[in-house]
Amino acid sequence: MTLAVIGAGAAGITAALSAAKSGARVILLEQHPRVGKKLLATGNGRCNLLNTSDPTGHYYGGGAEAALVLLRRYSAKRLLEYWESLGLICREENEGRVYPASGVANAVVDVLRQRLTEAGVDVRNGYTVADIRKDADGFIINQTLRADRVIITTGGKAGIGAGDATGYHLFKSLGVPMKPLLPSLAPIKVDPSSIRGMKGVRARANLSLLADERVVSSEEGEILFREDAVSGVAAMQLSRFVDSLTSRAARLELKIDLLPERSQRDWSDWLISHSHDTNASVEDLLRGLVHPSIAARLPRVARMDGNVRADKATWNTIARLLRDWRLPVASVKGFRDAQATAGGAAFSSFDSETLECRIIPGLFAAGEALDVDGACGGFNLMWAWASGIVAGEAGSR
């Protein structure tokens, strides 16, 4: 039995290894010159393999609930054992994030490539799948390559290779229903004038996405100001909600809570008291609370000169901004700036136990090609590994 795996990313490699281990003849097709290219860029070059936290609430899309069921079968503990069996030792860090103990993504890719060779997987790099057809005997790829079964693991449109929709095109050509593709884990675009002079500034804050004053979702973590957007983990976690709200809400805003430790009233009293004691200007006093660039920005938002002393009313305004600074949301940055893709092949068309297509027997899918996307912190790769293993095992039977 010949099994073709299309796409040699995280899900594709694990699918190929699992199928080969089960005795199938596996052909792994990859359009790039080498397998695992995108893995090298994950986790800032360190490869955040997975997360040991409870995955509940960290997955989205039509397959979110089914993904959680599958991830209870292939838990973080089981996946860590899997990696050790492959010869990769891992280390858990803050917030449950797991990285290779070596600290470099190359270690992950090198181990996977070595295991593919040992397993006898026929890896064909530089092979772009332009066409796939189903007949009574199985599948025909690019009119010449025949396989009994196929697993599509071509990943998403985000990041490296953005704009390459080969996998989604294959699903469509086979008649598999699709969910709209949207960038996820991406910077949120705002009016550049509202954050002028803030580029490169990092801060820890509570960040909320508001639609017509209603809180849609909130995150706590780092934010990073870009020239025309707010990035960082907290912003990227909220980005998947923006596109769906753009046509339904009259006003979308980011609410930044820079100092949640005290109430607005407490900060107002603190500012008024210290301004009397120190005779400091607004900007000087704020420098003891927030990043200097934010200290320079907030007085401008309050429409005052930061180099003068403030009256009580102005200090009340500054205190409000420390807890409730609003930035109008324009949109989300595109796929090239995103870390994940929302949408994909409709999960309802696949068996949640085996990831085999319900309408095309012998066709399987795994990873980001399906309508499942995860939060920051290793959850997307965790889904890729687990779903790849499941699809590979089921596809080889």
Q: What is the pLDDT of residues 70-116, one digit of tens each?
A: 999 999 999 999 999 999 999 999 999 999 999 999 999 999 999 99
306 or 134: whose pLDDT is higher? 134
d(CA 202, CA 187): 14
d(CA 393, CA 83): 17
* Predicted local distance difference test score (pLDDT) of residue 167: 84
* Predicted local distance difference test score (pLDDT) of residue 321: 97
Across the range 146-153, mean pLDDT stands at 98
Per-residue pLDDT band at 287 (split at 50, 70, 90):
very high
Per-residue pLDDT band at 279 (split at 50, 70, 90):
confident
pLDDT per residue over 312-345, tens digit each? 888 899 999 999 999 999 999 999 999 999 999 9
Which range has the worst mean pLDDT, 48-52, 240-244, 348-352?
A: 240-244
* DSSP secondary structure letter of residue 314: H
* Predicted local distance difference test score (pLDDT) of residue 56: 96
Across the range 296-319, mean pLDDT stands at 84
How would you classify the pairing of strands 122-125 and 25-30?
parallel
* Predicted local distance difference test score (pLDDT) of residue 38: 85
Query: Is pLDDT of 307 > 70?
Result: no
Which amino acid, one-letter code, is at 258? Answer: L
Query: Is pLDDT of 162 > 60?
Result: no
d(CA 268, CA 251): 28
Per-residue pLDDT band at 43 (split at 50, 70, 90):
confident
* Predicted local distance difference test score (pLDDT) of residue 80: 97
What is the pTM for the complete model shown? Answer: 0.91
pLDDT per residue over 253-262, tens digit each? 999 999 999 9
* DSSP secondary structure letter of residue 177: -
d(CA 123, CA 20): 12
* Predicted local distance difference test score (pLDDT) of residue 40: 83
Superfamily in which the 2-184+338-395 domain is placed by CATH: FAD/NAD(P)-binding domain (3.50.50.60)
Query: Is pLDDT of 163 > 60?
Result: no
d(CA 263, CA 98): 35
Mean confidence (pLDDT) of the chain? 93
In this structure, what token pair is assigned to residue 194?
A: 């509202």
In this structure, what token pair is assigned to residue 113?
A: 């490539």
d(CA 393, CA 397): 7
Residue pair 343/178 in contact (Cβ under 8 Å)? The answer is yes
Per-residue pLDDT band at 306 (split at 50, 70, 90):
low
* Predicted local distance difference test score (pLDDT) of residue 164: 57
* Predicted local distance difference test score (pLDDT) of residue 309: 67
* Predicted local distance difference test score (pLDDT) of residue 93: 95
d(CA 332, CA 353): 34
For 159-270, list the strands marked E by DSSP. Answer: 178-184, 188-190, 202-211, 214-225, 229-231, 252-257
d(CA 194, CA 255): 13
In this structure, what token pair is assigned to residue 254?
A: 């980011």
Question: What whole-number percentage of the chain has pLDDT above 90?
Answer: 85
* Predicted local distance difference test score (pLDDT) of residue 275: 83
* Predicted local distance difference test score (pLDDT) of residue 305: 72
Residue ranges of domains in the chain: 2-184+338-395, 188-259, 264-325
